[in-house]
């Protein structure tokens, strides 16, 4: 396993999208940064902060380019010497039931435009923290589904965020 030096949360900027399914990556990183008393700073096309884990800096990044162009932040991380296999991307996952989380390495975008953008910039060999948002019954409803607010109880959403943070902490330690 590679050391994680950066976590990228996928989402869309702005209050309109703050509680949508597509923004679970932002929600997880916001909670993770808050747990480390870190504050976000605007840099180029992103919000970024740095935390320290076991005496090593870890960059947290929220692209502000909208989902389809999330990969633009990779140049900044590459200039910091961070390799693709040292990156963990936190994102929503249609193929997992709501509330489930897992970390995988590599693979395709599976139709996720944020992952597709990341892959265009650095290839497919990076870690992914997949946060299950479930899938609508009809395939043609996916675009609307990911941009709707979570309808599940707040406690269940918070439990998923807590599970995701636990996985990040396990992976960083």
* Annotation says 36 is catalytic: no
Two tokens, residue 136: 């609508």
Residue with more model confidence, 173 or 121: 121
Q: Is the pLDDT of residue 173 over 80?
A: no
Under the banding of pLDDT at 50, 70 and 90, the label for residue 1 is: low
Residues 126-134, mean pLDDT to the nearest whole number = 97
What integer pLDDT is reported at residue 44 of this predicted model? 87
Two tokens, residue 48: 């970024």
Q: Please pick, among 2, 22, 56, 91, the residue that the annotation labels catalytic.
A: 22
Two tokens, residue 97: 């039931």
Q: Which residues contact 103 (CB under 8 A, 6 or more apart)?
A: 88, 127, 128, 129, 130, 167, 171
- What's the CATH number for 6-172? 3.40.50.1470
Residues 122-148, mean pLDDT to the nearest whole number = 96
Q: Where are the domains of the chain?
A: 6-172
State pTM to two decimals. 0.97
Please, what is the average pLDDT of the chain? Answer: 95
Backbone torsions φ then ψ of 103, nearest 5 degrees: -110, 130
The C-alpha angle 72, 168, 152, rounded to 5 degrees, equals: 90
């Amino acid at each position: 396993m590679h050391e994680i030096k950066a976590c990228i949360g996928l989402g869309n900027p702005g209050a309109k999208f703050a509680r949508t399914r597509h923004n679970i990556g932002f929600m997880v990183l916001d909670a993770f940064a808050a747990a480390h008393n870190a504050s976000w700073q605007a840099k180029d096309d992103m919000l970024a902060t740095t935390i320290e884990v076991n005496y090593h800096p870890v960059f947290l990044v929220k692209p502000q380019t909208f989902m389809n162009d999330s990969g633009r932040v990779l140049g900044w991380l590459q200039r910091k010497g961070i390799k693709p296999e040292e990156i963990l991307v936190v994102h929503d996952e249609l193929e997992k039931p709501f509330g489930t989380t897992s970390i995988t390495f590599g693979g395709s975008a599976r139709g996720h435009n944020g992952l597709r953008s990341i892959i265009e910039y650095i290839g497919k060999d990076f870690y992914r923290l997949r946060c299950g948002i479930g899938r609508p019954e009809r395939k043609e409803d996916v675009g609307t589904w990911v941009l709707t607010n979570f309808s599940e109880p707040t406690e269940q959403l918070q439990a998923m965020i807590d599970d995701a943070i636990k996985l990040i902490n396990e992976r960083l330690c």
